[in-house]
Homo-oligomer: A and B are copies of this chain.
Amino acid sequence: MMEKRMLDKPLDGIRVVDLTQIYQGPYAAFLMAMSGAEVVKVEPRGGERLRGAGGSRTPMAFAMLNSNKKSVTLDLKHARGTEILKDLVAQADVLLENFALGTMDRLGIGWDVLREVNPSLVYVSGTGYGLTGPDRGLLAMDNTIQAASGIMSVTGDADRPPARAGGAPCDIMGGVQMYAGALTALIGRARTGKGTLVEISMLESMYFTLCSELTNYHASGKIPERNSARSPAGACPYSRYECLDGWIAIISVSEVHWQNILKVIGREDLKDNPDFSSPPKRKKVEDKVNSMIETWSQRITRDEAYKQMRDSQVPVAPVRDLEEVRTDPHLHERGMLNYMSHHDMGDIVLPNSPIRFSDFDSSEVQFFPEVGANNREVYTAWLGLTETDVDRLAEEQVI
Contact = CB atoms under 8 A, between A and B. Distances in A.
A195 interface: yes
A196 B156 contact: no
Chain A at the B interface: SS class? mixed
B226 A181 contact: no
A208 B191 CA distance: 33
Contact of A330 (B13, B14, B133, B143): B133
Contact of A355 (B9, B57, B150, B184): B184
Interface in A338-366: 345, 348, 351, 354-360
Given A156-B156, A167-B151, A12 B232 contact: no
Interface in A156-194: 156-157, 160-169, 171-173, 175-177, 179-181, 183-188, 190-192, 194
Contacts of A151: 165-167
Interface in A296-345: 310, 313-326, 329-331, 333-334, 336-337, 345
Interface string A102-143: 000000000100000000000000000110111100111101
Contact of A167 (B14, B213, B319, B360): B213
Nearest to A129: B330
Contacts of A195: 359
A84 to B, nearest CB: 25
Contact of A334 (B57, B133, B310, B323): B133
A160 B228 CA distance: 11
Interface in A239-290: 240, 242, 247-251, 253
A147 B314 contact: no
Contact of A240 (B161, B180, B201, B337): B161
Interface stretch (A69-77, A214-222, A372-380, A389-397): A214-222
Nearest to A186: B187
Given A153-B319, A219-B60, A319-B153, A207 B8 contact: no
Given A147-B240, A173-B172, A358 B199 contact: yes
Contacts of A44: none
Contacts of A146: 249
A167 B11 contact: no
Contacts of A184: 10-11, 35, 183, 355, 357
A150 B321 contact: yes
A177 B177 contact: no
A104 to B, nearest CB: 14
A386 interface: no
A385 interface: no
A192 B35 CA distance: 15
A168 B209 contact: yes
